[in-house]
Amino acid sequence: MTPIVRNAVSSDAAAIAEFNRRLALETEKKVLDPAVLFAGVAAVLADPTRGRYFVAEDKGEVVGQMMITYEWSDWRNGWVWWLQSVYVRADARGRGVFRSIFEHVVEESKRAGDVIGMRLYVERDNRPAQATYLRLGFEEMHFDLYHLGVS
């Protein structure tokens, strides 16, 4: 399979929201509120300062996705792109969909000219994803991730 990778558009919101729902359930056993999820996806698609979705299509169907968000590094004077909401439909896994999206995003980062790196987080127990990221050249970092909810 050689999917077409493109920028997501507003008409992709339902597919992206559904993939995010599946992602949360598969990786964290979380059930997300569909209305909140759809609104969050729509907010990104409407405002590129919040992030950017890329989708992979095969035969006119969205089969995979990735979102990037941005972090400014004052230490390195450039942008770090965070890879998030990475999902490939179950029946399309193992067929190069993720690699196609990833390679597209790498090329986009090079074209931007001010991206100094990419980061992502992955569940501690998701060994297959960790192995994939290591094969692609990612390195395990010496940070732990913390969170404080404020709402």
Q: CA-CA distance, 105 to 54, in Å (whole number)? A: 8
Domains of the chain with CATH codes: 4-135 (3.40.630.30)
Mean pLDDT of the chain: 95
pLDDT at residue 77 above 90?
Answer: yes
Mapped onto helix, strand or coil, the DSSP state of residue 1 is: coil
Tell me: pLDDT of 1 over 80.
Answer: no
DSSP one-letter string for 72-95: EETTTTEEEEEEEEEEE-GGGTTT
Asked if the model's pLDDT at residue 73 lies above 80, the reply is yes
% of the chain residues with pLDDT over 90: 91
Q: What is the pLDDT of residue 126?
A: 87
| Residue 9 scores a pLDDT above 80 | yes
pTM recorded for the entire structure: 0.92
